[in-house]
Amino acid sequence: MLKNPTPQEIALFVSLYITGAALTAWLLLEAVNRWVALPWVAELVAMGAGLFTAAYFTTIYYLRKYIYRKIKLIYKTIHSHKVSPQEKSKSIDVRANIIDEVEKQVAEWAEQQKEEIDKYKAWAEYRRHFVGDISHELKTPIFNIQGYLHTLLDGAIHDEEVNVKFIKKAAKNLDRLHTIVEDLEAISRLESGELILEMQAFDIKKLTEEVFEDLEFKAAQQNITLEFKEGAAQNFRVMADRDSVRQVLTNLISNSIKYGKKDGRTRVGFYDMDKNILIEVADNGIGIPKQHINHVFDRFYRVDKSRSRAQGGSGLGLSIVKHIIEAHKQTINVRSTPELGSTFGFTLKKA
């Protein structure tokens, strides 16, 4: 038998089989009737040619109809579009191994379906966790605000010792709610591609100095020194969205202060990497345990939950940072050792 035959090969095989069987039967009859007389040879050849031609074209016709009907059913299943009149009228190339081609396309379709199902499952799991996380993050400040306001309405508004204190606490929780909503909006814009990067050339060291000035007071409260690493005296010009990169630096340096040790230091370094510049923000703070390293850029993920919430923030800062860097088609990573500190590094294209 033929292995993986084309329609043409099937037709040839069937035609030869039919012709051979018919001629053999006819030959036997003629041999008996004519005692193998010579004139029957020409008849035999003519009859064989006629039988073969008829069998071949008949087989081809029915194979075309059969294969097309079956293929059309398969394509209706694996393709979302309707078959056009041109496709309906298109004849099948009987010389091609159409069965293998369809089998290949079905296998590709099945693999694609599996990938899509796995992706949908992952997104469903992600959404489930995200809804749970955001509900928890919003519930805490809302519950606090509700408690303070109801206490004031129940009479504490007239108690001069607590009324202003409770209003300030309620306002602080409202600020946290506002921060969460703004950060969620920022992530939504980044993920949907709505954020348009205004690329420009600028001095990354100068921008870092501006961020140092912005966070100087916050660092002074913890007696943390903000400085450049040795060898970072050189000014590097990068091509990026300046405001977005400012947000990245502000978040990373602010985190280094938040999780830094008192009397510690935060250092920023720049490294020439041919076409890119590597920017590193390093601290000698509490560090990040190994089991948390792969999750620090996840939404609402907090290594030290109680400390993070006590110091405010939305829990979305590092997720936004990652989205911004990826929007620049660059990378960000972190390395850390508990009690020794953490180093966040990201790249930007050299101007």
Residue 263 pLDDT grade (very low, low, confident, very high; cuts 50, 70, 90) = confident
What is the pLDDT, as a whole number, of residue 25?
61
C-beta contacts of 8-13 below 8 A and 24+ residues apart:
8/60, 8/94, 8/95, 10/59, 10/63, 11/56, 11/59, 11/60, 11/63, 11/94, 12/56
What is the pLDDT, as a whole number, of residue 102?
67
Please list the residues that pair with 283 across neighbouring strands.
Answer: 266
Determine the average pLDDT of the residues in 334-346.
90
Cα–Cα dist 139/167, whole Å: 18
Task: Extract the tokens encoding 308.
Answer: 């993070």
What is the pLDDT, as a whole number, of residue 76?
63
Cα–Cα dist 200/266, whole Å: 27
What is the pLDDT, as a whole number, of residue 350?
93
Cα–Cα dist 223/139, whole Å: 34
- The pTM (predicted TM-score) of the whole model is 0.58
- Percentage of the chain lying above the pLDDT 90 cut: 21
Fold type of domain 199-350: Heat Shock Protein 90 (3.30.565)
Taking only the tens place, the pLDDT of each residue in 41-93 is: 556 566 666 666 776 677 666 666 666 666 666 666 666 555 555 555 555 55
Taking only the tens place, the pLDDT of each residue in 179-227 is: 778 777 777 777 777 678 889 999 999 999 999 999 999 999 889 999 9
Residue 38, pLDDT > 50, answer: no
Q: Which amino acid, one-letter code, is at 220?
A: A
Q: Spell out the SS3 assignment of the chain.
A: CCCCCCHHHHHHHHHHHHHHHHHHHHHHHHHHHHCCCCCHHHHHHHHHHHHHHHHHHHHHHHHHHHHHHHHHHHHHHHCCCCCCHHHHHCCCCCCCCHHHHHHHHHHHHHHHHHHHHHHHHHHHHHHHHHHHHHHHHHHHHHHHHHHHHHHHHCCHHHCCCCHHHHHHHHHHHHHHHHHHHHHHHHHHHHHHCCCCCCEEEEEHHHHHHHHHHHCHHHHHHCCCEEEECCCCCCCCEEEEEHHHHHHHHHHHHHHHHHCCCCCCEEEEEEEEECCEEEEEEEECCCCCCHHHHHHCCCCCCCCCHHHHHHCCCCCCHHHHHHHHHHHCCCCEEEEEECCCEEEEEEEEEEC
β-pairing verdict for 225-228 and 265-273: parallel
CATH 2.40.128.120 fits 127-192, yes or no: no
What is the pLDDT, as a whole number, of residue 7?
58
Q: How many CB atoms lie within 10 A of CB 192?
A: 8
Asked if residues 45 and 81 have their Cβ atoms less than 8 Å apart, the reply is: no
Domain boundaries, the chain: 7-96, 127-192, 199-350
Taking only the tens place, the pLDDT of each residue in 149-171 is: 888 888 888 888 888 888 888 88
What is the pLDDT, as a whole number, of residue 108?
78
Residue 40, pLDDT > 60, answer: no
Taking only the tens place, the pLDDT of each residue in 274-327 is: 899 999 999 988 888 888 888 888 777 766 554 454 555 567 888 889 989 988
Cα–Cα dist 260/307, whole Å: 12
β-pairing verdict for 332-337 and 341-350: antiparallel
Residue 128, pLDDT > 50, answer: yes
